[in-house]
Amino acid sequence: MSQDTFARLGVPAPLCAVLDARGITIPTPIQAATLPDSLAGRDVLGRGRTGSGKSYAFLLPIVTRLAASGNPRRPKRPRALILAPTRELVGQLETALAPLAKASGLTSMTVFGGVNQNPQVRALAAGVDVMVACPGRLEDLIGQGHASLDSVEITVLDEADHMADLGFLPGVKRLLDRTPSSGQRMLFSATLDSGVNVLVKRYLSKPVTHEADSPQSPVATMSHHVLHVTADAHLPVLLDLTAAPGRSVVFTRTKHRAKKLARQLNANGVPAVELHGNLSQNARTRTMDAFHSGAAQTLVATDIAARGIHVDDVGLVIHADPPVEHKAYLHRSGRTARAGNSGTVVTLMTDEQVRDVRDLTRKAGIKATTTRVDRSHPLLAELAPGEREFSGAYVAPVPAGSNGNGTGSGAGGGAGNGQRGGKPRGGQNRNGQRRQGQGGQGGRDGNARGQGGRSQGSRGQGGRDGNARGQGARGQGGAGGARSGGSRSSGSRRGSGGSAPVYSTSSGGAANFSRNTRAGR
């Protein structure tokens, strides 16, 4: 089938050209089912599993209908509103929307919290056609008089079930009450639970319902495996799987676990980044940029990334911690096998988790293959084929204008390149230069920080015994084995030692682990 498949559904030629340039030529089932109705202006209720292409199912009709209506942009009054539950999803919707809007002479913007609101306020004041927003920040802007929804022609709720799960429904209702009842409304969701049905009955007028698949149907090209491991084998098995070629997403239950596992993967040479609720919006953006670009091949995340996050070619999803609910399992797993691609889902299960995982897969409608494995089991090479590579920890780019050299000391110690330069709170120090701290760490990682003056120092890597020296008024010793890193700083305070969970040391480490792994076929 050619790209005119979208054209036959009613998508204008300029938008078909944008899709074609992005390699999108064949509509997915949810797109083919909903586009004729949504392009005709009907209210639509669309249900499809994550990764089924729901975004274009509403982005295409929004742009098409706004361009056809010809109504002018007005300050503070968007013409279309898309509500989404997370900042990451808002950003990704904007990425898909922007080229479509540009091709049709429309403008778009995002609204979410965690960042300065002034750019959003200015964009609204200039007038915008399509706003993609999280409910909380949008309510704030409306309350301050910066936005009004009385000119909204089309309203879309994306991931409506997730918004219900997160407790956003009261805010969503308040926002929908501000939109004209005569406008077109579309609701897309992976499941149609009771909370979502409340929205459907209250806000959609004679909606046309399209369900592209069964609510719990797994992707046909997605294979599910449960790896029964001992507590000691959990990390080695995880290392082996993530060291294989290609992108992988590792899910944990808590923010602490995400941070810890990302640190352990980096310590053993697997470049990884973390994504969880403790990160600022800028840090989340840097994390996703690193994962999108391939600078980090593994994303370690809490359920904040289970929905809405789209990264091309994620071949492997690993539940390092099995989720509590079966819906979370399905949404996590949906980060792979997207848009017709195949994918593998692995759940690591310890002895204490056998009953929980059995109940989880049963409720999710998943028939998973369960195998007891250790790090040398041949199944690992089948699930994640390819030569294992431990290329080194992910190193974040040094911000412009900062220095990042750190020094590690101790037995077998050496110099390491710091990840971040000094960042004084009060600007520059007396001689006009940024103050620079030095830190070190034991093993291969541990992320110790030294601080110079009141600035944050750079990170360095030291030797096996973890002795590190901090320089400045608040220097901190590095992290290493058994709290051994507390040497005195050159300033007025003693450096603080610490311990970091590191799977291998620099003398054993990733090199030995790599030699012991099996190459893929």
Tokens matching residue 71 = 């109504």
Domain 222-383, architecture per CATH: 3-Layer(aba) Sandwich (3.40)
The mean-pLDDT minimum among 2-11, 369-378, 507-516 falls in 507-516
Q: What is the pLDDT of residue 400?
A: 56
Fold equal for 4-211 and 222-383:
yes
Amino acid 475: pLDDT? 37
- Tell me the mean pLDDT in the region 165-184: 92
Cα–Cα separations (whole angstroms), residue 394 to 141, 263, 271, 400: 37, 10, 4, 18
Taking residues 301-307, report their average pLDDT: 72
Average pLDDT taken over every residue of the chain? 76
Tens of pLDDT, residue by residue over 109-159, are 999 998 899 999 999 999 999 999 999 999 999 999 999 999 999 999 998
Q: Which fold has domain 4-211?
A: Rossmann fold (3.40.50)
Whole-number Å distance between alpha carbons of 275 and 95: 19
Confidence of residue 306 (pLDDT cuts 50, 70, 90): low
pLDDT the model gives residue 141: 97
Chain segment 460-486, per-residue pLDDT in tens:
343 333 333 333 333 333 333 333 333
Q: Tell me the mean pLDDT in the region 364-385.
A: 89
Using alpha carbons, select from 506, 500, 503 the residue that is nearest to residue 483. 500
More confident residue, 101 or 281: 101
**CA 70/CA 450 separation, integer angstroms:** 58
Highest average pLDDT, of 221-230, 268-277, 282-291, comes from: 268-277
Q: Name, in order, each residue with C-beta under 8 angstroms of 87's C-beta and a sequence gap of 6 or more.
A: 112, 113, 114, 134, 281, 284
414 close to 463: Cβ distance less than 8 angstroms: yes
Q: What confidence category does residue 342 fall into, taking pLDDT thresholds of 50, 70 and 90? A: low
The mean pLDDT of 214-225, rounded to a whole number, is: 57
The whole-number pLDDT of residue 309 equals 62
Q: Is the pLDDT of residue 240 over 50?
A: yes
Residue 333's pLDDT band, with cuts at 50, 70 and 90, is: confident
Average pLDDT over residues 260-274: 95
Measured distance CA(319)–CA(102) in Å, rounded: 39
Collapsed DSSP state (helix, strand, coil) of residue 134: coil
Let me know: does 192 contact 158? Beta carbons within 8 Å: no
Angstrom CA distances, 247 to 140, 227, 243, 265, 294, stand at: 37, 19, 10, 14, 8
Residue found under tokens 């904040």: 304
- pLDDT (tens digit, 9 = 90+) per residue, 45-90? 988 766 667 899 999 999 999 999 989 999 999 999 999 988 888 9
Among all chains, which residue has been given the structure tokens 């890597």? 461
- Greatest distance between any 2 Cα atoms in the chain: 74
Q: C-alpha distances in angstroms, 335 versus 96, 99, 487?
A: 17, 23, 45
> Cα separation of 344 and 473, whole Å?
50
Ramachandran region of residue 477, left (φ > 0), alpha (ψ -120 to 50) or beta?
Answer: beta
Closest CA to 68 of 22, 109, 15, 28: 15
| Pair 141, 76: CB distance under 8 Å | no
3-state secondary structure of 357: helix
For the chain, what are the domain ranges?
A: 4-211, 222-383, 405-506
The whole-number pLDDT of residue 161 equals 82
The string over 93-130, giving b where at least 16 C-beta atoms fall within 10 Å of a residue's C-beta and e elsewhere, is bbebbbbbbebbebbbbbbbeebebeebbebbeeebbb
Distance CA 3, CA 17 (A): 8
Q: What is the mean pLDDT of residues 438-447?
A: 37
Of 22-36, 229-243, 255-269, 402-416, the poorest mean pLDDT is in 402-416
Q: How confident is the model at residue 390 (pLDDT cuts 50, 70, 90)?
A: very high
